[in-house]
Structure 1
C-alpha cells in the first residue's frame, strides 16, 4: 500500500494516523483532526519517522495556492472563511447543535459561530474541513489566527457557499484585499458539495 485516503471522520487520524504513516503516505480528508495540537504534532512526527508524507487536499477551499504563497512570503495578515449551508446540511456537536435548533425554530438565517477555527473543529468536525485546510495553507496564522464564520440559511437548500476573505500586508494604510465566493451545488442535506468531491479526486 502506497497511500491511505481518509474520508470518514477526524477520529480515524487521531486514533490510527501514526500507524498508517509508519507504512504509507496518508491523505487526510478530515483535516479538522489537526486542530487538536497533540494530534498534529504526533502525525507530523510519525511522517518524519516513517519517511512518508501527510497530505491535506484543498476540498472546497478556493485560492489555496495563493494563500499558501502569501503566507510563505509573510504578506498574509488576515484570513476569514465563511461557510453558509442549509440547516439540514450541518452535523454539529455541543452548543452549536442547540444554537442550530434555535435557528430552525425561528425559521430564519443566522450565524452559528464566529471566531477562530480551532474550537469550531471539535463542534463541527464534518462541516468545516475547508476551514481547516485554510489553516494548514496559512501556518503563520494557523488554527488560532484564521477566522471562521458558520452560517445556517434555509434559503440555500441545495448549495454550499464558501466565501474566502484574504488581507495582505498594507502600505501607508492601504492593503491588498481579495474576496472569493464559491457556490457549490449540493444535494439537500448533504454534508459535502458535488464540486468538493471532484476537487478531492483531483488532489489524488
Structure 2
C-alpha cells in the first residue's frame, strides 16, 4: 500500500502540476516525470511543495543521483533514502511514501539487504500510522520473500524483526491464525540462526520455494 493508492493526504499545490499529478500515481510514474523535469526544476518543486527554499541546494544533487538515466543502483537508493527522510522531516507523507517506494525499488536492484530492510520498515510504519496493519505487514512479508531468493542475503536480525512485526500486526488485525503461522516460521528460522546455519544469512531457509502470503 502507498498513499498513492487512495489514502487521504494533505493537498499541496505548486507551479508544477505535472509533478503534483505524477506523485499521486506512485513511484513509477513519478520517477519518469522527475527525470523529464530535470534535477534543478524538480528540486525547486520540492522546495515549493514543502515551503522550504533552502531545500533546493540540498535536494538537487540527490535528485541528480536518483534520476540518472544510467544510475548506480546503490547510489540511487541512498539518494532516494535521503530524499525520503527530507520529506518526512517536512511531514509530507505522500512525498515520503513515494520516495521510500523508490528507495526500496532501487535497493532491491542493488541487492542491498540493509537498505531494503530500512525502506521496508519506513513504508510499513507509514501504512500502520494510516491504520492499515495488513498493508504494513505486506511490506515485511515482501522483505522475507525477497530474502528467501537464491543468493539474497541480509542481517538475520532484520529477518527476526520482520517476523516480530508480522506477528504483532496480524494480532492487531485479528488474524490470529496468521500470527500463529508466522510465529511458528520464526521459531524455525531462529533454530537455524542458533545453529549457525548459513541459510539464516543467505537464501531460502524454508524447505519449499512457495512465497509467504498475507492473510485475507
TM-score tier by shorter-chain length is under 0.3
TM-score by length of 1: 0.26
More helix per residue: 1 or 2? 2
The structure showing larger relative contact order (alpha-carbon pairs under 8 Å, at least 6 residues apart) is: 1
TM-score, normalization by structure 2: 0.25
Q: Which has the higher strand share?
A: 1
